[in-house]
Structure 1
Amino acid sequence: MNISKDEFFREVTLRICSSLDIKAALKSCYNYMKEYLPLDFLFLSSIDESMGALRLIACEPESARKEVNEIVPLPKDIWEWQLTLFNPLLADSKNHNPMTVKMASITNNKGKSTLPIPLHIDGKKIGSLALRSLGDGIYNKNHLELVESIIEPFTIALANFLAHQEILSYRDRLIDDNRFLQKELSPQFSDDIIGSLSGLRDVMEQVRSVAPLNNTVLLLGETGAGKEVIANAIHYGSPRSGGPFIKVNCGAIPESLIDSELFGHEKGAFTGASAIKRGRFERSNGGTIFLDEIGELPLQAQVRLLRILQHKELERVGGSKQIPLDIRIIAATHRNLEKMVEEKTFREDLWFRLNVFPINIPPLRSRREDIPALTRYLVNKTSREIGLHTPPAIAVGALDKLTSYPWPGNIRELSNVIEREIIRFKGGVLTFDSITGGHSEPEIQHLPEQNQPETMDKNTASYIRRVLKFTNGRINGKKGAAEIMGLKPSTLRSKMEKLGIAREDF
């Protein structure tokens, strides 16, 4: 059936512009075009420069997707040839161009005739429209002249589709980031870290040295010693302070979800993956990611983390695309990673990559001079949070009591004690008569009158026993021993096992 090029152009243009749904528009074009051209299949593809590949956008009939790959990576010579191909080309076995022969093999096009139509704007290739018919030598110059008339409308349609997809992607990322950051990010760091001129002087000197750089930092210290505060100081004292600061507790994410949560996943990567998800690393692009309790990371995730440290790129679960990353990694742990390497529970190569600039954060008992200032700060902070207009005063001698206590749970335990004291406050002054939450003076106040004080283990064991007695042996949950002490239940159980304390005794 004959038709003029002008009429063919007009009718195809009306159809490709008939719907915002590119698949529906292509279907309308296919049904019309096959009346005037030999046409069994119609493919619309875009150029993916990041992968050096063709990416299928839509095809007709839809069942043809089974015969082609969604993404077709191209060898370097074919890729370069594709980028310079700006005119329609007859491609079948009668065409002895070695590039068309090679392309036919890559796209599973042997025994078929193909009429590829390059789509380009301002000298840049953005994709192609490919007509395909069963059999060799089907297309001729008349067909070629007819399809040349529809290059422009298909180019505009593809360009609009790609621009729309990019806008949707940016919108979704902004919505996603806003929701995530509102939930995850704490208020920005204040320069006035308590102890920076006393017990944390050496730590803060190291922070000031490393903050302006991009080096990986490893923070070492007991649970509750303030590793997150130091991570804040490094991030907000760096050139990345305007970027995201993503905090991850590696021990709080179930092992079955760790890969998806940290590295993201592609749509359809597994059952329930109904949409693309950007992981914590991808969200931190342009900023800093803080990996707390890095020692809890499963070995499988350690392999992925090692790749990020080595190559500054990641691959989502179920994906094949390498996503470049511009991030700084700060890791923290209370565990002995070197010992874990010996026990084969932590990768040695990852340990070497993380241990670039280690900072040891002293426990609170090693910087008792900071306890008075910390106490005043936490009293004021907690009072504001619970709605007290005037923070209560601290009784004479109370600071001495707090300063002499060993604080096995460090600053986190001190914060819990202060919060509990203020909640119970009925007027007068804060006395801290019951540091552990019990009803007796802490035994640390009654040290034996000997030249040699009791060991830290004895004091810690005594404290744990008093707290367990107060909670009737309950470790987990609200008002459990772990919460009162500011420790994770697993950490408390580990301490109990080490000190020979059985929960059943309480």
Structure 2
Amino acid sequence: MVDENEFFRRATLRISSSLKSETALQRAMTYLQQHMPVSGIFFALYDPNLNIGRLLAFIWPPGIDRPKRTFVFPKEYWGWMKNWWDNQERIRIINDISKEEKPLQQAFAAMWPNDTSHITMGLRLEEMQLGILAIFAEGKNRYNESHAHLISLLHEPFAIAISNILQHQEILRLKDILADDNSYLRQELMEITGKTIIGANFGMRGVMEMVSQVAPLNSPVLLLGEAGVGKEIIANAIHYSSKRKNDPYIRVNCGAIPENLIDSELFGHEKGAFTGAISSKRGRFERANHGTIFLDEIGELPPAAQVRLLRVLQQHEIERVGGSEVIPVDVRVISATHQNLELMTQSRKFREDLLYRLNVFPIMIPPLRHRTDDIPALVSHFLEHKSRELGIEQMPSITREAIEQLQAYHWPGNVRELENFVERALIQTKTGKPVEAISFSRLASTSVDHTITPSDQTDESILPMNDVIAMHIKKALAQTRGKVEGIDGAANLLKIHPSTLRGRMRKLGIPYGRHR
């Protein structure tokens, strides 16, 4: 005789004793063995649309081969299996498989020897069919109605257990989808912000060497350089070359956030912290936990936010606006600015102690005028990229003369200005007919020349581009007394490679060397 209340209580405690389904089944089976023969136990599902059975969790005896988690039923039994599943009685005893219907024999033969006994119980929760619970024992005629009755007492606990398993699997599936979506969005964001570093082996070689040195570390990095030199692309390279590359990467433009919202955006806020704070909100630092945060235009950060940022760098913790709880954060900080922070500290616009914390590893990114050898590769990259964006099927080529015209310009807007310049040229040459070569000669007047003075603007004479370049080169040669190469040569004065200068002089008919 079994005390059914005690049996139910003890079995239920074991069924719900662990979040790991196999562990809970093992404990439940160990208890059931005190009241009936049990060699194995499992939860199973059947998908009538795909005619596939699936084991969610199981405990298998060592003497019987472990089955695959998914198995396909023979096609001739599809209709029978669906009918059996839809009309499955609450509990069923199978003491001799050979005496059952042929489709059931076929299904059982895939996993068990013929000399096994089984009890199967359909599990329903709120009128929804969840799956089945089955126990089995080696040998025929091992089960009777009293065993089936005891198992039937545990219908609700087992139904809740299988429901939890299904919900847990759904959460894991959604988590994988979310991780995949995040990975895809990160790749898309890299495509938008740019991931190709043109000139990594030439004008940007020194910068990339510093990136490779600091990327594996957790040290703060300060990126310095004029607007448009590609500081964000270098920040991307540091993050995606670090150990944190699979963790969050949060970008913040400090100059684009209103001063009254900067604290809330960076550090979050609690519900009711200010008018409009209808719920709690995580800030950018919390979202970047275990990853990297890129603070662009750090010089625009208000004084109050500078104090809170200093605390993050010193103590690795934050407090939300309106909150009192200290929240630890593990974030690597990469900052960038085109301003002179040292001058800003002298005028008290930027905290000196914060500068010391940010300026652990400064990287100066050279302007485009100091790496004109990279212009051909940059133009080629932008031509390909912008032609694809504008729907130009046949990408136009570019002449050597056009490249020399671009290299002669000083590019105050740096790489960003060059990118816009190439796009403008493609737009103006897009006529619907293939363009063999693109020219920048007619676009010279659209570039802003910052050297023009008011008196120059009234001059009616406009010289051809080649004449202006020739006059500029001759002026440089005059200052260097005809010397082309070397520290005191014209090439260094004009910030171009000596070979490039000689080629341009030959094209323009300017003698040099012995010819001069």
User: What TM-score do you get using the length of structure 1 for normalisation?
Assistant: 0.52
Instruction: Please state whether the residue corresponding to 2:191 is helix, strand or coil.
Output: coil
Provide Cα deviations, 1:159-207, integer angstroms capped at 9, x if missing partner: x9xxxxxx9xx99xx79x9699679943399875211111111111100
User: Match of 1:320, as an amino acid?
Assistant: S
Shift in alpha-carbon separation, 1:402–1:264, aligned structure 2, 3 A:
same
Tell me which of 274, 277, 282 is aligned to 2:278: 274
Tell me which of 427, 430, 450 is aligned to 2:438: 430
User: Match of 2:438, as an amino acid?
Assistant: L
Shift in alpha-carbon separation, 1:244–1:298, aligned structure 2, 3 A:
same
CA distance in 2 between partners of 1:416 and 1:322 (Å): 46
Provide the residue aligned with 1:243 in structure 2: 247
Shift in alpha-carbon separation, 1:191–1:335, aligned structure 2, 3 A:
closer
CA distance in 2 between partners of 1:208 and 1:234 (Å): 8
Contact 1:184–1:247 (8 Å) recurs in 2: no
Shift in alpha-carbon separation, 1:185–1:246, aligned structure 2, 3 A:
farther
User: Match of 1:253, as an amino acid?
Assistant: I
**Aligned counterparts, 1:41-52, within 5 A:** none
User: Match of 1:369, as an amino acid?
Assistant: D
Shift in alpha-carbon separation, 1:453–1:372, aligned structure 2, 3 A:
farther
CA distance in 2 between partners of 1:280 and 1:430 (Å): 44
CA distance in 2 between partners of 1:322 and 1:358 (Å): 30
Contact 2:311–2:318 (8 Å) recurs in 1: yes
Provide the residue aligned with 1:381 in structure 2: 385
Provide the residue aligned with 1:451 in structure 2: 476
Tell me which of 400, 405, 408 is aligned to 1:404: 408
Provide Cα deviations, 1:436-460, integer angstroms capped at 9, x if missing partner: 5269876974644313799xxxx9x
Provide the residue aligned with 2:420 in structure 1: 416
Larger Rg, first or second structure (1 or 2)? 2
Provide the residue aligned with 2:288 in structure 1: 284
CA distance in 2 between partners of 1:182 and 1:272 (Å): 31
**Aligned counterparts, 1:119-138, within 5 A:** none
Contact 1:189–1:236 (8 Å) recurs in 2: no
CA distance in 2 between partners of 1:252 and 1:215 (Å): 26
1:393 aligns with 2:404: no
Q: CA deviation at 1:435?
A: 4.0
Shift in alpha-carbon separation, 1:274–1:321, aligned structure 2, 3 A:
same
Tell me which of 322, 335, 348 is aligned to 1:344: 348
Q: Runs of 4 or more off by more than 4 Å in structure 1?
A: 177-184, 188-192, 438-444
Contact 1:404–1:445 (8 Å) recurs in 2: yes
Instruction: Please state whether the residue corresponding to 1:219 is helix, strand or coil.
Output: strand
Tell me which of 321, 325, 328 is aligned to 1:324: 328
Contact 2:195–2:236 (8 Å) recurs in 1: no
CA distance in 1 between partners of 2:478 and 2:320 (Å): 55
Provide Cα deviations, 1:392-421, integer angstroms capped at 9, x if missing partner: 211341111111110010001001101111
Provide the residue aligned with 1:47 in structure 2: none
CA distance in 2 between partners of 1:184 and 1:348 (Å): 37
Tell me which of 356, 361, 386 is aligned to 1:357: 361
Q: CA deviation at 1:345?
A: 0.5
Contact 2:194–2:233 (8 Å) recurs in 1: no
Provide the residue aligned with 2:26 in structure 1: none
User: Match of 2:359, as an amino acid?
Assistant: N
Contact 1:417–1:435 (8 Å) recurs in 2: no
Provide Cα deviations, 1:112-168, integer angstroms capped at 9, x if missing partner: xxxxxxxxxxxxxxxxxxxxxxxxxxxxxxxxxxxxxxxxxxxxxxxx9xxxxxx9x
Shift in alpha-carbon separation, 1:350–1:184, aligned structure 2, 3 A:
farther
Q: CA deviation at 1:325?
A: 0.8
The number of aligned residues is: 287
Aligned CA-pair RMSD = 3.4
User: Match of 1:357, as an amino acid?
Assistant: F
Provide the residue aligned with 1:147 in structure 2: none
User: What TM-score do you get using the length of structure 2 for normalisation?
Assistant: 0.51
**Aligned counterparts, 1:2-151, within 5 A:** none
Shift in alpha-carbon separation, 1:358–1:179, aligned structure 2, 3 A:
closer
User: Match of 1:291, as an amino acid?
Assistant: L
Instruction: Please state whether the residue corresponding to 1:290 is helix, strand or coil.
Output: strand
**Aligned counterparts, 1:204-243, within 5 A:** 204-243=208-247
Shift in alpha-carbon separation, 1:178–1:398, aligned structure 2, 3 A:
same
CA distance in 2 between partners of 1:267 and 1:178 (Å): 28
CA distance in 1 between partners of 2:402 and 2:275 (Å): 57
Q: CA deviation at 1:389?
A: 2.3
CA distance in 1 between partners of 2:264 and 2:188 (Å): 17
Contact 2:195–2:233 (8 Å) recurs in 1: no
CA distance in 1 between partners of 2:478 and 2:427 (Å): 33
User: Match of 2:446, as an amino acid?
Assistant: G
CA distance in 2 between partners of 1:361 and 1:231 (Å): 11
Instruction: Please state whether the residue corresponding to 1:351 is helix, strand or coil.
Output: helix
Provide the residue aligned with 2:33 in structure 1: none
1:262 aligns with 2:266: yes
Instruction: Please state whether the residue corresponding to 1:308 is helix, strand or coil.
Output: helix
